Each structure stands twice: as structure tokens, then as C-alpha cells.
Chain A
């Protein structure tokens, strides 16, 4: 099993961010036996990635009175090496958690922007093994934990157990599977727990309160509140139902709640944070920046600017 060493001295920026939880960063070149704050797995998934899990990240941010910025990008669009660079850019520009989408041929929950990204990525030949190889290299260089976003069939095809083990092995911390409702999550949760992966669950404006309570009870990492009924994609404004929904969820659980779908600019981010969200997820808008750029390099530059503007809205 490959063990990744952190090959470079963490930047001052990263050190500054990770003061409390990451005391081990004082000795960056040492091999870590039991990463602080992570569940120990008997599989001995050793990773020197100096990141903690999703829940821990939220805990730290809460202590600092901060709201998490959670960008989403699709792996392999425009290509995997750009994705690798994009992850680093997002990480260094203020992201607290990064969602990485595994491209799928029939993404039911996604709108045209992310659909197109998946199609382009698959046309380039992006596959799961290539994404894993990329992550193996990149994750040790990141300080934000990675949550994978994948539809169910590719997970089933690979085998739930094998899938969880593989992603944990490269340092992925969390997983979101949008087309599995609570009733069918049992096997996912079992294997996720075994491998120390936090399985995030989604609740929506159409979810009745009792069902929402069951969902938040079972969710790990954070609760993903879908802001509007429908697929992913930027919308003109965020529905103010979100405010009520956030209140209802917070009455039912102390777990962190992140809001996603439709959030696309600093105003939205500020608004949602003001309503009490613990985290804000920005997906299609990010993917669009990379997709519409004239070149990958320009895309990365624009991604940097965009991410910083979103972060500024949270300060």
C-alpha cells in the first residue's frame, strides 16, 4: 500500500489556517501513524494528508465563528490535470471542503452545466481509476478534505466495499450519493463506516419533517440541504424557504448543515450564511467558470478570482 509523504513544507497560509487541530504540521516530513481527529480503521489506510474529516472541519470552523465554503467541480473537465490544479487552487483560495464529482453518463440530479461537464469528461476517457490516481497525488497536497459526489450505479458496479476502501485509500473523507434515498442507504452506510468515510445525506424542500428527522439522524459529515426542488444549476435567487428549512433542521439536530443547488454568486453566499447555514456549496457556477474559459490556464485564474470573491462574502 502506498504511503504518501507530504513532500513540501506547508505554506504559511495553510499553517495559519490549521493551527488548532493540526499540531502535527510542525513536523511535516514525518510519517503519521494515526492522523489526529480521524477514525482509525483496521484497514490501516495510512495517509499523511494533513486533513481531518468533514465533521471535524465544521467543528473547527464553528469555534472560529466561520461558515464553510464548499465548491464542487466535475473531475476530468476539461481534463484531469486541470482538475488536479483546480483542486489546489480551490484549496488555497479559501475552500474549507471540496466536493469532487465523478462523471456519470446519466446524471439525473444534474442540470445542463454539470451534465455537459460530465459528458465532456467521459468523452475524454475519464474513468474512476484515473480519478483515483490523480487524487493519490493531489490529496496529500491539500488541506481541505475531499468529498466525492457519485451516482449509485458506478459504485454498485465496482462493489460498495471495494469502492469505499479505494477512495479511503487515497484520502477521500466523505461521499455524497444523490440517487439513493434513505431507505436504500443501509449498505452504503455500513461500508462507509467500516472505512471511515462520512456519508452525507440530502434533505429537500419536499421532504416532510418526520422524514427529515430520520435523514439528519443518519447523516454523517454534514446534512446537505437542497435549496430548491429540481436539479443542480444556477438560479436567479435563493428561495427564502431555505431560511425556514434551516431553522427546522437545526431544531432537529446539532449536526452542521450546508446548503447547495442554485447558489452562484457572493450575494447568494452571504444571504444563505446569514440565514444560519454552517456551509455553502457552490457547484454549477464553479463548473461554468472552468467550462467557459478560453483555456485551462485562464480557467484556473478565473476560478481563483471567483473563489476568493465567494470567500470574501463569508468574512
Chain B
């Protein structure tokens, strides 16, 4: 279903951005029926984007080398290069191995609890109806119902199986909010692998319940001064010292190739299920996909299946923290510029010296100064749109879902839900919106009650 243009939103001047440097990225400032017009940020600037066919083909061609336009690649010390090559070979072999795929499918069904429901949020839908009683239909993809409480397990179990396949005895990982740590610890327990998780001291304070869960599941948790970005650096260093015996289990779609592609591949089950479920429920594709963006794993997991479907709108929501002008936010795609971090070229929150900025968001899982190279590419080509939500807006959305649907979302996913406030008034009645409820919020209850803005 094509989205209509809201002429009342056309204001100010048009901005068409053209990026040079890579022949594959050209943005035409053209308007046609398939074009989406947005003025969500409330400013008088309008950004019109449209995707031309060649860009999608370019993505396919270069993905095997880990490049998405100019983004991605492998920017790591030489010590890691051979290991990454082995990992890529193993990954490709596992993908083609029917036995591995069957084993994974069983694990996803019986251990993770897939498929996750596509839930029609009736009361939330009613809440957003306008005075004429019209509004989009809001569905939640219930990744919060997965084992461990978030989508992270989809990737953790698959990669733990690959580690086992490669004959590794131990797994090392880094975690932010703790969900990836918990998922990895669980998968390692199931597959009899030793597990070491690095976690930032700041994150340990904020998500202490997950810390305890990891220990219960048998993982050794090592603290690193700082937050997720520091934990990731330390995990990478630890891996570099133990390349033969250890497997670096990445939790999200960043890092040197093949890591982003591996995670995206294993998370894409979310989008595949959604397509099938949408077809069953209302007979066609969803119109709008909405997901929060920290590094991009749940967003890409939902989006990837639909990237070639130009009539499906892809919207990512990052953490604006205390506000985009405050300096305390995690909005990498909104405010960052291109750099190289943790092995890949992508958008990055950095200062004028190229030093990496420590980000902030109430959604701990959103606090990462980098972002997926693939999402960076989707942003540049205009295939996906990215907005932000502040801590306050996320807290409000958190409480709203609790009260209207009896579902407690994670604070990260609450950012996606918060964006419904701005999105719904612009959508015609009957538009099918699927929000990725990427995790449940039990871990965030303490944060909510301690926060001065809660209404409890």
C-alpha cells in the first residue's frame, strides 16, 4: 500500500543530500507515489528520499566482502585477520549444511520458543486513533517472549553452535544491558562451552539482575571500567590473546566482517516470520516496520527480509538520551559522522579529534557509539529512516504499554514505541504497523521506579 503524501507537512525548503565517494550511492530528489515524506522532527527541513534499483544490487554484490557501499570492512589488527577468514568460511559452510540448519531450527523452536507471536495491540491502536476514529493498526512482534527475554538468543544459540562446530572450548562475549550476556551464558550452558562475559561497571550497576542471571547460568563475568564499548574492546583484546581456543561471540551487527553479516543472518528469522504471519493475518506485507536502534541487531533482524520491498517503510529509532543538543545521547545515525570503530567503517559518535564519545541513553542496550555498517548504508541510500526518542519519551511509552496492554517492554524497545506518538497521526487508517518489541522490561523496573519522571 503506497503511503499518501501529506501536503500539509511540506514546509520550508527541500534538502537533497548527495554523497560522493562511492558510485553506488546517489540520492535523487524526486517525488513519486512511492516516496515517503516526513517532517517528524518538527523542523522546517524536509528530507525526501527515494531508492533506485542499482543500490540494492550493489548491496548484494559486496556483502560477501563485508561491504555495504563504503561501510563495513575489516579494520582490525593483523593478528585477527586469519581468524576472521576462518570464521567466514565456517559460517558459510554452516549455512549450507542441512544438518546444522535442522539442529538450529529445533533449538529455535524448542529452546528459544519460536515462532514469536505477532500480537495485535488493540488498546494501543485505539489510543492512537484520531477524532474520526481512524488510525493505523499496531502489531507487536513479541521478541520479548523469547527465552532470556530478548531477541539476542536467536543469534547467541546459532553462534554457540558454530563455536562448537569449530571445536572451540570457550566463548568470550561483551554485553551492554546484559541480554546478550544472558543469552550467551544460556547457550553455552546448553552446549557445554565455557563462557566469559565482559560487562562495563556502569552497566553492571544499572542492570544488576542480568548480572546475577549470567552467573547463575555458569558464566564468568569480568568487569571493565566504563560501559559496553569498553567491554567490547576488552573482549576483543581477550579474544586476540586466545585465538586458538576461544570464540568471540558477537551480540550485534557491528565489528569486522563477517561478524555483522553473521548476526544479521541469524536475527533475520524475525523478519521472515513476520512476513509469513502478516500474510496469514491480513493477506499482505506490513506497511511500516518500527524498531529501536542501539547497534542495529533487532532492527536489521526485522528489516532485512523486507529491504527489497520498497513499499515497506523501515523506521529505526535511536536514543536521544537527555536530548540531541545535550551531548548525552546515543543517536549515532542522527548525529554521528563516518569513522572506523571496532573493526568496521560506519557512522560513529566521535569528537573533533576522532576520539570515541561515551554515549548515554536510559535504554542501556542502546548505548553504543557506533552502529551497524549495514544500517549506515540503508540510511545513506534513503532506504530506511532514522529518528530518535528521549529518555523521557521512552519512559512514558514504557508505562503506556504496561497500562494499555499489560505488556512490560524493555526500555530499549520503548524507544520504538515512543515514536508511535509522532508516527501514527501521519498514517492513514488501516496502515499495518509492526513494532519490534525486542525485549521485556523486567530488568528495567528498578530504573523506572528510581527515575524522577515516572508516574508510578
Residues of chain A whose beta carbon lies under 8 Å from any beta carbon of chain B: 104-111, 122, 127-128, 152-158, 178-184, 202-208, 211, 215, 226, 229-231
Contacts of A108 in B (CB 8 A): 76-77, 233, 236-237, 240, 342
- Asked whether A229 lies within 8 Å of B339 as measured between CB atoms, the reply is no
Q: Is B340 positioned at the interface, with any CB of A under 8 Å from its CB? A: yes
Contacts of B343 in A (CB 8 A): 179
Q: Which of B130-138, B143-151, B345-353 contacts A (4 or more CB under 8 A)?
A: B345-353
- Asked whether B78 lies within 8 Å of A204 as measured between CB atoms, the reply is yes
Q: A108-B233, A207-B78 are in contact. List 17 more A-B contacts (CB 8 A).
A: A105-B356, A106-B230, A108-B342, A109-B240, A153-B354, A156-B340, A157-B339, A158-B354, A179-B343, A181-B74, A181-B75, A183-B73, A206-B79, A207-B82, A229-B240, A230-B237, A231-B240
Contacts of B242 in A (CB 8 A): 230
Q: Which of the listed residues B230, B338, B355 has the most CB atoms from chain A within 10 Å of its own CB?
A: B355
Measured CB to CB, the closest approach of chain B to A209, in angstroms, equals: 11
Contacts of B236 in A (CB 8 A): 108
Whether A231 touches B75, Cβ cut-off 8 Å, given contacts A108-B236, A127-B353, A153-B354, is no
| Interface residues of chain B: helix, strand, loop or mixed (majority) | mixed
- Asked whether A226 lies within 8 Å of B355 as measured between CB atoms, the reply is no
Contacts of B338 in A (CB 8 A): 156
Give complex CA distance A203, B77 in Å. Answer: 9
Give complex CA distance A111, B241 in Å. Answer: 10
- Asked whether A157 lies within 8 Å of B350 as measured between CB atoms, the reply is yes
Q: Is B229 positioned at the interface, with any CB of A under 8 Å from its CB? A: yes
- Asked whether B353 lies within 8 Å of A184 as measured between CB atoms, the reply is no
Kindly report which residue of chain A lies nearest to residue B230, judged by CB atoms: A106
Measured CB to CB, the closest approach of chain A to B296, in angstroms, equals: 19
Q: Is B81 positioned at the interface, with any CB of A under 8 Å from its CB? A: yes
Q: Which of the listed residues A178, A179, A184 has the most CB atoms from chain B within 10 Å of its own CB?
A: A179
Measured CB to CB, the closest approach of chain A to B368, in angstroms, equals: 12
| Interface residues of chain A: helix, strand, loop or mixed (majority) | loop
Measured CB to CB, the closest approach of chain B to A92, in angstroms, equals: 31
Give complex CA distance A178, B236 in Å. Answer: 14
Q: What are 23 A-B pairs at a CB distance below 8 A? A: A106-B342, A108-B342, A109-B237, A153-B340, A153-B354, A156-B340, A157-B339, A157-B352, A157-B353, A178-B78, A179-B340, A180-B75, A184-B74, A202-B77, A203-B78, A206-B81, A206-B82, A207-B78, A207-B81, A211-B81, A229-B243, A230-B79, A230-B242
Contacts of A230 in B (CB 8 A): 79, 237, 240-242
Q: Choose from B240, B341, B354 the contact partner of A155 (Cβ within 8 Å).
A: B354
Contacts of A105 in B (CB 8 A): 355-356
Q: Is B83 positioned at the interface, with any CB of A under 8 Å from its CB? A: yes
Measured CB to CB, the closest approach of chain A to B134, in angstroms, equals: 48
Measured CB to CB, the closest approach of chain A to B221, in angstroms, equals: 19
Contacts of A158 in B (CB 8 A): 354
Give complex CA distance A157, B357 in Å. Answer: 13
- Asked whether A231 lies within 8 Å of B241 as measured between CB atoms, the reply is yes
- Asked whether B243 lies within 8 Å of A206 as measured between CB atoms, the reply is yes
Contacts of A207 in B (CB 8 A): 78, 81-82
Measured CB to CB, the closest approach of chain A to B207, in angstroms, equals: 22
Give complex CA distance A230, B242 in Å. Answer: 7
- Asked whether B82 lies within 8 Å of A178 as measured between CB atoms, the reply is no
Contacts of B348 in A (CB 8 A): 153
Give complex CA distance A202, B78 in Å. Answer: 7
Give complex CA distance A272, B79 in Å. Answer: 20
Give complex CA distance A109, B342 in Å. Answer: 11
**Residues of chain B in range 163-185 having any CB-CB distance to chain A below 8 Å:** none
Kindly report which residue of chain B lies nearest to residue A228, judged by CB atoms: B241
Kindly report which residue of chain A lies nearest to residue B234, judged by CB atoms: A115
Kindly report which residue of chain B lies nearest to residue A110, judged by CB atoms: B237
Kindly report which residue of chain A lies nearest to residue B82, judged by CB atoms: A206
Measured CB to CB, the closest approach of chain A to B394, in angstroms, equals: 27
**Residues of chain B in range 336-386 having any CB-CB distance to chain A below 8 Å:** 338-343, 348, 350, 352-356
Contacts of A110 in B (CB 8 A): 237
Q: Which of the listed residues B77, B230, B243, B339 has the most CB atoms from chain A within 10 Å of its own CB?
A: B77
Whether A179 touches B353, Cβ cut-off 8 Å, given contacts A106-B229, A231-B241, is no
Measured CB to CB, the closest approach of chain B to A83, in angstroms, equals: 17
- Asked whether A181 lies within 8 Å of B353 as measured between CB atoms, the reply is no
Measured CB to CB, the closest approach of chain B to A257, in angstroms, equals: 14
Q: Which of the listed residues A109, A158, A182, A215 has the most CB atoms from chain B within 10 Å of its own CB?
A: A109
**Residues of chain B in range 72-116 having any CB-CB distance to chain A below 8 Å:** 73-83
- Asked whether B76 lies within 8 Å of A181 as measured between CB atoms, the reply is yes
Contacts of A226 in B (CB 8 A): 78-79
Q: Choose from B81, B229, B243, B354 the contact partner of A154 (Cβ within 8 Å).
A: B354
Contacts of B82 in A (CB 8 A): 206-208, 211
Whether A179 touches B354, Cβ cut-off 8 Å, given contacts A156-B340, A206-B83, is no
Contacts of A211 in B (CB 8 A): 81-82
Contacts of B78 in A (CB 8 A): 178, 181-182, 202-204, 206-207, 215, 226
- Asked whether A156 lies within 8 Å of B354 as measured between CB atoms, the reply is yes
Contacts of B243 in A (CB 8 A): 206, 229
Measured CB to CB, the closest approach of chain A to B447, in angstroms, equals: 26
Give complex CA distance A202, B80 in Å. Answer: 12
0/1 interface trace, chain B 327-343, chain A, CB 8 Å (1 if under): 00000000000111111
- Asked whether B75 lies within 8 Å of A152 as measured between CB atoms, the reply is yes
Measured CB to CB, the closest approach of chain A to B384, in angstroms, equals: 24
Give complex CA distance A215, B81 in Å. Answer: 12
Q: Which of the listed residues B76, B230, B340 has the most CB atoms from chain A within 10 Å of its own CB?
A: B340
Give complex CA distance A155, B236 in Å. Answer: 22
- Asked whether B74 lies within 8 Å of A183 as measured between CB atoms, the reply is yes
Give complex CA distance A179, B77 in Å. Answer: 4
Contacts of B80 in A (CB 8 A): 206
- Asked whether A229 lies within 8 Å of B241 as measured between CB atoms, the reply is yes
- Asked whether A152 lies within 8 Å of B240 as measured between CB atoms, the reply is no
Q: Which of the listed residues B76, B230, B340, B353 has the most CB atoms from chain A within 10 Å of its own CB?
A: B353
0/1 interface trace, chain B 53-81, chain A, CB 8 Å (1 if under): 00000000000000000000111111111
Give complex CA distance A156, B355 in Å. Answer: 11
Measured CB to CB, the closest approach of chain B to A118, in angstroms, equals: 10
Give complex CA distance A47, B73 in Å. Answer: 37
Contacts of A107 in B (CB 8 A): 233
